[in-house]
Structures are given as structure tokens and as C-alpha cells.
């Protein structure tokens, strides 16, 4: 075989399979399916059992970890939602008595939101149920499966971060 034939073959192969990463693609689709399945189940159960939505649950989870409350902009940053969307979520939770909203003592232009005692009780009840649901959905995994998954996902998180950083780096 002379050089030009080898070169042609390599080129032909590259054209046929310009990106032969089907295994990684399959893995990503399975990961996405799992995440979507778990999330859809959580959404449905929050609605059916507590008449609550996932974004409101997530918002209350953030505030449960902040005994003195949080400004709206801190909250928006942590939840990665727009201020507009956040305001609608907060309005609704203030209405039902789960949250208080007041101007910040240090900066009157900033609003601080916090859980009310009743809101905290309601959240803790939902959080307990949520934890049971997740454990139930993961019941097919033994201790070794869980450890494997945790470790592999840790690596995936790091290499995805590295890949994503290239975008902002250029």
C-alpha cells in the first residue's frame, strides 16, 4: 500500500465517521432520561401530595438553609432564574403565608425574603417526603452501585466544567 492510498483511506474513514462517539452519546441520553424521569415524578408528587410546584419547593429549600433570609438578588443567583420569574414565585409564597418580605436594614433598596415558622414547617414536611421519594427511586441501586455512580458523576462534573470553561475563555 503506498502513502496516497493510506491517506485516502484515512480521509474516507474520517468522512464516514466524522465523530464516532456513539457510546458517549448513548450514555448522555441515558443520564438525561434518568434525570427527566426522577424530576417528572418529583413534580407530580409535589403537586398531588402538597399542591406545590418544584420551583417553589426549590426556593423554600434555599431559604431553609438561610435562617436570616436572603435578598432577592442572592436568591435569583443561587436559583439561576431571572428576577422576574423569582418575583412571581415569591409573591405566591408570601400570599399563602410561607414567606415574609421586608426591606433590608442595611440597604433599603434591597428586599429580604425569609421563611415564616409555618413556611419552615411546611417545607420540612415536604423535604422529608421528597427524601423518601428519591430513596425509593434509587432502591434498585445497592451500596456499590451508588458509590460507582457518585464517583463517575464526580468525574463527569469536573470534565464538563472544564469543557464549558473553554467557551467563556475564548
| Residues between 46 and 105 with contacts to its own copies, criterion CB under 8 A | 48
CA distance to 67, 95, 96, 102, per residue, from 51 (Å) = 25, 15, 12, 26
Least distance between its own copies and beta carbon 22 (Å): 8
121 binding its own copies? (CB under 8 A): no
Specify the residue, 35 or 88, whose C-beta has the smaller distance to its own copies. Answer: 35
Cell 410546584: give the residue.
53
Is-contact 101 112, C-beta < 8 A? yes
Report the SS3 class of residue 96: coil
Angle made by CA atoms 113, 64, 123, in degrees to the nearest 5? 105
Reading the block at residue 44, the C-alpha cell is: 407530580
From the centroid of its chain, how far is CA 58?
9
By CB under 8 A, the count of residues binding its own copies is 57
Specify the residue, 16 or 95, whose C-beta has the smaller distance to its own copies. Answer: 16
Specify the residue, 102 or 152, whose C-beta has the smaller distance to its own copies. Answer: 152
Which listed residue (10, 14, 28, 85) binds its own copies by CB under 8 A?
Answer: 28
Least distance between its own copies and beta carbon 75 (Å): 18
User: Interface residues with its own copies (CB under 8 A)?
Assistant: 18-19, 21-28, 30-35, 37-41, 44-45, 48, 128-129, 131-141, 145-146, 148-164, 167
Amino acid at each position: 500500500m503506498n502513502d496516497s492510498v493510506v491517506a485516502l483511506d484515512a480521509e474516507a474513514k474520517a468522512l464516514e465517521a466524522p465523530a464516532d462517539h456513539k457510546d458517549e452519546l448513548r450514555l448522555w441520553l441515558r443520564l438525561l432520561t434518568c434525570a427527566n424521569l426522577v424530576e417528572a415524578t418529583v413534580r407530580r408528587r409535589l403537586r398531588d401530595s402538597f399542591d406545590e410546584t418544584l420551583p417553589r419547593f426549590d426556593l423554600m429549600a434555599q431559604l431553609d438553609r438561610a435562617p436570616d433570609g436572603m435578598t432577592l438578588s442572592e436568591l435569583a443567583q443561587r436559583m439561576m432564574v431571572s428576577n422576574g420569574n423569582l418575583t412571581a414565585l415569591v409573591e405566591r409564597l408570601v400570599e399563602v403565608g410561607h414567606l415574609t418580605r421586608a426591606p433590608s436594614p442595611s440597604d433599603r433598596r434591597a428586599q429580604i425574603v425569609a421563611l415564616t415558622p409555618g413556611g419552615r414547617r411546611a417545607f420540612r414536611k415536604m423535604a422529608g417526603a421528597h427524601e423518601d421519594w428519591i430513596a425509593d427511586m434509587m432502591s434498585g441501586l445497592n451500596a456499590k452501585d451508588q458509590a460507582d455512580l457518585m464517583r463517575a458523576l464526580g468525574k463527569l462534573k469536573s470534565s464538563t466544567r472544564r469543557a464549558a470553561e473553554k467557551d467563556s475563555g475564548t
